Homo-oligomer: A and B are copies of this chain.
């Protein structure tokens, strides 16, 4: 990927090799009892799913949400509104049913899988319904040294890929990615500034809600980190190693593997989209598998979506993370598949078509 915005229009992305499948999907949709294309983006999503799944019968079931969690050494710089302990506490809350992701995944019949790839929770702690695959108890403080080693980021990618393969084995058609990690908007902003080559202040927001002084500390920390590491803007892997997080790297790995498994990826907010930037830097073809669920209130998310030419389904001023935006958008994808499969055609329903 060059670090220029993509040239294709990804508002309706179809893999070139699946052009014929997309044409067949459009022909089917145009026979249904509605003015042609009158469901707008909903029809485009149905066609994109056909392209991703390489079949003219798009599916949004079975589906899973994978939450990757990790802690961030850069929290030493006092860049978050919440204490670092919250990452581990929220893992328990997610698994216990009380978090937004727990409530919304239950509402929409989505399997919730929580994977701890790098929280500060002691290694002997087990949490029911949380996969503890901790690479290290938090990344290093990227203002002082690289967040991860090369081996560590490889492990994070491998865990993301492994979980996607596991979902593929279960015949899962759509995976929602989400994250938990106090400090991870700082890491996501650092990755974004490095790849987009934009001023740090332009792409750094309040995360969970830091005040004016906190956001200045956040910007300074990112500027310090980027000045120290001088990463190559075209090398997403290097950037993620230097200033990323274990959960971000695991999500990037998941996206890379989803492409090979013909699985649709529903992105959540800013941090997940930063992981998509990393994945697309490694293999630009990944973009065809991505559906942007929403444009969040987090400063900078819209720029990432524009850079990737992804058109979000929702803009509801959300900024919670943990896949909440993606889960709120999911029923639009369900609607697209239901329309595709269950509506009558003009012929079958005996309805007169448009005047010629």
Query: Which residues of A does B touch, CB under 8 Å?
Result: 32-36, 38-42, 81-83, 85-86, 89-90, 92-93, 96-100, 103-104, 106-108, 208-209, 297, 313-320, 324, 327-328, 330-332, 334-335, 338-339, 342-344, 348-355
Contacts and interface: CB of A to CB of B under 8 A. Distances in A.
Contacts of A99: 33, 343-344, 349
Contacts of A334: 107
Contacts of A320: 34-35, 38-39
A217 B332 CA distance: 35
Nearest to A90: B351
A344 B97 CA distance: 8
Copies of this chain held together in the complex: 2
Contact of A98 (B92, B313, B319, B348): B348
A335 B318 CA distance: 13
A208 B35 contact: yes
Given A35-B320, A39-B324, A339-B104, A344 B96 contact: yes
B40 A83 contact: no
Would you list the 5 A-B pairs with minimal beta carbon distance, nearest first? A98-B344, A40-B317, A331-B331, A41-B316, A38-B320
Nearest to A340: B103
28 contacts: A33-B98, A34-B324, A35-B209, A38-B297, A39-B318, A39-B324, A40-B317, A40-B318, A40-B319, A42-B316, A42-B318, A82-B352, A82-B353, A82-B354, A83-B355, A86-B351, A89-B351, A96-B349, A97-B342, A97-B344, A103-B339, A103-B342, A104-B339, A107-B335, A314-B332, A328-B332, A328-B335, A331-B331
